[in-house]
Structure 1
Amino acid sequence: MGRAHAGADSTAAGAQPDLQMLAAGLSGTTASVRELLLALSAGFTLPGPLPATLESRKDLGVIIETAKESGLLSEDGRVVGTVQHALLTGTPDAHLHALQRELVDKVLSAGLPFTDLARELARGGLHDARVAAELERAAAVVVDTDPRLAADLFAEALLAGADELDKAAQRAQAAAAIGELDTAGRLVDRLLAMPDPPGLLLGVDVAASVWSQRGMLARGADTYSWLGKERLGSSAPLAAVALAGSGDLAMAEAVLDANRMSGSPTLLAVSLSLTGQGLRQTLGPEPQLGLPDLIRASDMMNAAGTVIPMPETPAALAALCALHGGEPALAETILRSALTAGQGGDPARPRHFLLLAWSLMHRDNADEARLAINEALKANPWNLPPRDAFLHAALDVGLARRGGDVHELVVAWDRAREAMMHVSVDLFNLLPWGELMISAARLRETPKAAHYLSAVPELLERLGNPPLWAVPVHWAGVEAALLAEDPAGLAPHAAALVRASEHSHLASVLARGGRAWVSVLAGRFEASDVEAAARGLAAVGMPWEGARLAGHAAAHADERRDMVKLLACARDIHPPASGGNAPGIPQQVAATDPPPETRADAAGLSAREREVARLLLEGKTYREIGEAIYISHRTAEHHVARMRRRLGAESRSELLSRLRIALAEGYPDREHPPEPPLGPPRIP
């Protein structure tokens, strides 16, 4: 079309002599044939329209046939590529652009489709306000449905001479929607610095969305506050999400009250209205009323098929509420529907997959959780934004903790410590912060995370400690206090769960679970009470936690029948995965102290003895080994004594050395491993 575009039809330096010969040959053609070929090279087509000087000629048909007979024009009316290149490179810019502007005049006056031609002209180097306007118009049409195409069209409009700031808000929307957060942020910064910026409301929406993905939701809320609630209009629900999520519930409610849905009740408008209304309900005394609204909001957003800048998608909010309410299966259903519909476009895809992984982790399905994490990483082949990177890091910690692999947990914790430095606490990342609270206590790393974790109760306090959102945090506090052997730290969280039990079924289940843990650790418990608490935890989406409680109690049971009963409960709640081990549970779980299997390997160790040996090499005590594979600590001790005799080891260090050789594993030789136990330790 233009010089740059036409060059693609020829080879590089090696084609130059041929082009010179073509130019010499073209100079010998008649002026009328050359004029026709140049017009067609510039963008005109056959049978028309053509430049006025050619259309007025009575011998136009003869000119066309002469060009074809000379081999310069194909039968379908296209100029031969090398000929086109020679003409475009040999024609002065002024003459070429004059022809192209005449072409634009004719296309517009005839009312012909213009977008594809405008793209070609822009890429060819033509600066024309009409071309730029057409490209911006086409981009605005598709920016909500195909942001990648919109971004290309906006870029071509700039090539055609469009003003950089006139459509900056929409350009930022397209950039953010394809994951280019830095580009979107720079565009919005320039826009908001103007005294009277065009597309201001959209620019604020984009800014809030970018801040949210960066893990700084409060900055997005500040942007809406700067704009003022009187100017929010249709974006009021989005502002309410950012404001409530960062702890300003009063302003969120004021924004919703001042900007009730008006105008056409489109799918998108209804979705946004339900989002604001549903989130508001979840923060009140009857949070169960909010989840249906959020689910309907997600359904409407799926149906709308539009991609707009949002601090959080309706699907993510609905899934988070389901997870906080102890319904991970429901969260999974919501997220799978959103992923199928492409809700939120490319930026939301990793977020939805990571939340799906969280749901699967809580449903005790570690393998599928890891597959969902892989899909999240595939959805964003570059780097995840900080918000999603933080969720990913917390997932790795949660899976490692449930898998019982101390080394993997330490590695995951180190990555999470780095990730937490890039984000701030908000309402929508309380679950990962709760997981990190537990793991910090597990690894004796709480002081290193205390500065960040202290913001969690502060946020909940500003929001009035909403039960739906606060209960899982208090449960995490209970688990962390048990692991840290901190009765004083346990008390406020346990009391909060008891208070919330009056209005929250989940809180009552967790309160019972907390009491069961305390009774087990104190050595004074009834097996039936522990079993009921463990099954209750499993019923609210915590089968791993329930199985751990029952298994730990079994290891401390005085009566054999209680031990058998609790081990059976643990196996029932947390069955071994087919073809492999479930996290923290061996493939074969015994309900009684079993004899060692008779089949031995080359070193003379049975399958159960190898299992015990691996745990011993990881630095676990007899009691911890028993808890991990659901045998009593005495049986674990018997296994170790039998292996020592069989391997001829005279001391513990010699036994560890020989076991490392037998298992071909590179475990460190630690007589006194520093790792804390996998289960909550005894409180004095």
Structure 2
Amino acid sequence: MTGNEIRPVSLLPELNHHGQEPGAAEQMARQLKGENVAVRELLLALSVGFVLPGPLPADLQRRLDSGDVQSLAVLVERAEAAGLLTADGTVVGPAQQALLAVAPTAKVHALQRELVTAYARDGVPLGDFARELARGGLADPRVAAELEHAADKALEHDPALASQLYGEALLAGADEAATAARRAQAAAANGDLDAATRIIDSLLVADDPPDVRRGVDVAAAVWAQRGMLARAADVYSWLGATRIGPSAPLAAVALIGCGNRAGAEALFQPGAPPASPTLLAATLAETGKGIYESVSADPHQALPVLIHASDMFNAANAALPLPETPAAIAALLALHGGEPRLAETVCRSATAAGQGGNAAKPRLFLLQAWSAMQQDKLEDARLAINEASKANHWPLVPRDEFLRAALEVGLARRSGDVPELIMAWERAREAMLHTSVDLYSLLPWGELMITAARLRETRRVAHYLTEAWQLLDRLGDPPLWAVPFHWAAVQAALLSEDPAGLAPHAAALARAARDSHLAAVLAAAGKAWVSVLAGRLTPADVEVAARGLGRVGMPWEGARLAGHAAAKAEERKDMVRLLSCARDLHPQVSPAVNGSSGPAARSTPAPAAEAAGSLQPDGSGLSEREKEVARLVLEGKTYREIGEAIYISPRTAEHHIARMRRRLGAENRSDLLTRLRLALGPEDAAPE
């Protein structure tokens, strides 16, 4: 072997897990000396990214042109013969790693810049090669610009990718301040609120922050997700009317949401045309208009406007920073208006379209769950809650965590599971410490108001409820938002046996009934409840009120009213009529709610029965009616025979058994029979 020959790479000692033997780079450097230096230069250029055939580094090309080194064909032949270069012109992995390891960093970067120049001269984009260059430590404004441009294209549709690209652009030398707002938008849209907050805080403290309007949009969206909408409103107020531009509708959402209508009017006029003729600009304008309509005395146009905005946003497929998505606001309006099925449809469409990106998914699923719960579809609600919990790889933001906690309280209250209700209440108490009251959180606060009254814990939520009433008062007590909250207050007063506390809310419902069908239904229901509590009920009026609740998406509430009235009915035919109404509205209604014909049921006041729930002091988890069904099951009765024995339909018997199986955790019929015997105890269980 002569001094000019190259030892084939296959003859090198065994490589380590990095693809080269310790010292292999130095060994290769010693081999590639003399005339072999030109081979090394060629291999290094190819390792950096130059390709054959194609332009070569200027220095190597100059030496080839001057004849200082042998021809390119000879260099390629020698590299291939040594096993360092494949037939397609690719440097073998170990050799490439060894060359890059031994070459001075400055030389490698100089070659990379030459390559970038060649790409630019030919008008060829760097593509993924730009990412490799940035991660390899090359600082070059052309690489940074290409990465920044790629990130901008991905920002509204793939914020996770955009976040990575912006980070790599910074490595390549991009301006940190100039990209801050966009980097924060990508982080927030991907669900990383902490990263977004850090970036925005560093931007907004500058004297003249670049891209400040976008930065404020991100800051407002982050504050809203943290459950602090008033801070979002403050950020828009700081931005001011002269700089607000296309973000004016978003400012209206934030400011009206915290009760500052005057501030919203100073920044946004609902009749103004969109900032531009684009789909997104029209979406934002319609969203702002819908919010204004919702707090007016005649809010009937608010929901159609917001549904249009949601449809347009679905079509735009953009992840913009928003205090609330159009779909979320539309769903809230539908729920407040007694149309939970419509709310569920809006949420399903928005989640299918990816409205608002990953960060918006959990809230849309949770509002879908609320819609299902209100329709008495408790299992569907639980499934939607599970979807919300796994919709994003980040934990739920405080606003959504609070909504989930209130949902769990509502589900436990409706299923009559008192131990679970108490645990859910404790979780909700913790969640409420991390959020504040705003217009878009009145539904969960209403649910917690009712539960607090049931558990005699009203003092825990009193100051939050005061804030809610003050917010509604600042907005002029808008009927669309206020009516369901007054209804929650009526229910809380009934549970607390507080006629004085009930009166103002009943009066508010009666006043709103002139213009609101929902208010009229709720006012009638409130009047029926008072008659039941006073023992002066008219069965026909109670039934009309209960079925009215069912028609406005509140079947559980209607069944509860009819059931309590049945327990107070003087005539058996009235009791049977009201029980039938309760079963129609809520087939799984428990006897603790729908009453029974026994003296114990007749002597239990309605609020006390609600407070007691369907669990018994013995901890079995079975109500008296369920125990009765359980005894018949243990006797081997069929659904039909059980129904005939205790005057219920076979379907109701089936529902009772299914509920007991779920509550007791039984996996099959044999397991259910065993658990029922244990739950009933030896004195109640039928003999085997």
TM-score range, shorter chain: 0.7 to 0.9
Per the alignment, residue 202 of structure 1 pairs with: 214
Compared with structure 1, are the counterparts of its residues 433 and 258 closer, same or farther at alpha carbon in structure 2 (3 Å cutoff)?
closer
Q: Indicate whether 1:53 and 2:65 are aligned.
A: no
- Give RMSD over aligned pairs: 3.0
The structure 1 residue matched to 2:305, chosen from 293, 300, 305, is 293
Per the alignment, residue 503 of structure 1 pairs with: 515
Compared with structure 1, are the counterparts of its residues 192 and 666 closer, same or farther at alpha carbon in structure 2 (3 Å cutoff)?
farther
Contact 1:242 1:311 in 2 (8 A): yes
Compared with structure 1, are the counterparts of its residues 501 and 44 closer, same or farther at alpha carbon in structure 2 (3 Å cutoff)?
same
Per the alignment, residue 32 of structure 1 pairs with: 38
SS at match of 2:213: helix
Per the alignment, residue 92 of structure 1 pairs with: 104
Compared with structure 1, are the counterparts of its residues 84 and 570 closer, same or farther at alpha carbon in structure 2 (3 Å cutoff)?
same
After TM superposition, the score normalised by the length of structure 2 is 0.84
User: Which stretch has the larger CA shift, 137-146 or 56-65?
Assistant: 56-65
User: Which stretch has the larger CA shift, 564-573 or 73-82?
Assistant: 73-82
Compared with structure 1, are the counterparts of its residues 386 and 369 closer, same or farther at alpha carbon in structure 2 (3 Å cutoff)?
same
Q: Distance in 2 between matches of 1:590 and 1:239?
A: 50
The structure 1 residue matched to 2:229, chosen from 217, 221, 243, is 217
Q: Which structure carries more relative contact order (alpha carbon 8 Å, separation 6+)?
A: 1
Contact 2:130 2:143 in 1 (8 A): yes
Compared with structure 1, are the counterparts of its residues 665 and 254 closer, same or farther at alpha carbon in structure 2 (3 Å cutoff)?
same
Q: Distance in 1 between matches of 2:40 and 2:621?
A: 88
Per the alignment, residue 641 of structure 1 pairs with: none
Q: Distance in 2 between matches of 1:423 and 1:270?
A: 31
Alignment of 1:336-355 (within 5 A): 336-355=348-367
Alignment of 1:245-644 (within 5 A): 245-257=257-269, 260-576=272-588, 584-585=589-590, 615=616, 617-618=618-619
Contact 1:481 1:487 in 2 (8 A): yes
Whichever residue aligns with residue 678 of structure 2, its letter is: A
Q: Indicate whether 1:664 and 2:678 are aligned.
A: yes
Shift of 1:31: 2.0
SS at match of 1:198: coil
Compared with structure 1, are the counterparts of its residues 87 and 377 closer, same or farther at alpha carbon in structure 2 (3 Å cutoff)?
same
Q: Distance in 2 between matches of 1:242 and 1:626?
A: 51
Q: Distance in 1 between matches of 2:318 and 2:175?
A: 26
Contact 2:374 2:553 in 1 (8 A): yes
Alignment of 1:128-167 (within 5 A): 128-167=140-179
Cα-to-partner distance string for 1:228-280 (whole Å, 9 max, x where unaligned): 12211111100110010010112212322299335531111111111011111
Q: How many residues align?
A: 609
SS at match of 1:388: helix
| Uncovered stretches (5+) of structure 2, i.e. residues with no partner | 1-14, 66-70, 599-612, 631-641, 648-673, 682-688
Shift of 1:526: 1.1
| Uncovered stretches (5+) of structure 1, i.e. residues with no partner | 1-8, 577-583, 594-611, 636-659, 668-684
Q: Distance in 2 between matches of 1:383 and 1:429?
A: 19
Shift of 1:545: 0.4
Q: Distance in 1 between matches of 2:60 and 2:622?
A: 95
Contact 1:185 1:210 in 2 (8 A): yes
Compared with structure 1, are the counterparts of its residues 614 and 302 closer, same or farther at alpha carbon in structure 2 (3 Å cutoff)?
closer
Cα-to-partner distance string for 1:465-486 (whole Å, 9 max, x where unaligned): 0000000000000000000111
Shift of 1:117: 1.8
The structure 1 residue matched to 2:245, chosen from 224, 233, 252, is 233
Shift of 1:160: 1.3
Q: Indicate whether 1:108 and 2:120 are aligned.
A: yes
Shift of 1:23: 4.0
Whichever residue aligns with residue 46 of structure 2, its letter is: L
Contact 1:564 1:591 in 2 (8 A): no
Whichever residue aligns with residue 253 of structure 2, its letter is: V
Contact 1:229 1:258 in 2 (8 A): no
Contact 1:543 1:574 in 2 (8 A): yes
User: Which stretch has the larger CA shift, 479-488 or 133-142?
Assistant: 133-142
Shift of 1:51: 1.2
Q: Distance in 2 between matches of 1:435 and 1:383?
A: 23
Q: Distance in 2 between matches of 1:168 and 1:199?
A: 8
Q: Distance in 2 between matches of 1:585 and 1:28?
A: 94
SS at match of 2:574: helix
After TM superposition, the score normalised by the length of structure 1 is 0.84
Cα-to-partner distance string for 1:97-135 (whole Å, 9 max, x where unaligned): 111111111111111012322111001111112211221
Q: Distance in 1 between matches of 2:353 and 2:542?
A: 43
Whichever residue aligns with residue 465 of structure 2, its letter is: L
Contact 1:173 1:309 in 2 (8 A): yes
User: Which stretch has the larger CA shift, 401-410 or 54-63?
Assistant: 54-63
Q: Distance in 2 between matches of 1:511 and 1:530?
A: 12
Whichever residue aligns with residue 134 of structure 1, its letter is: E
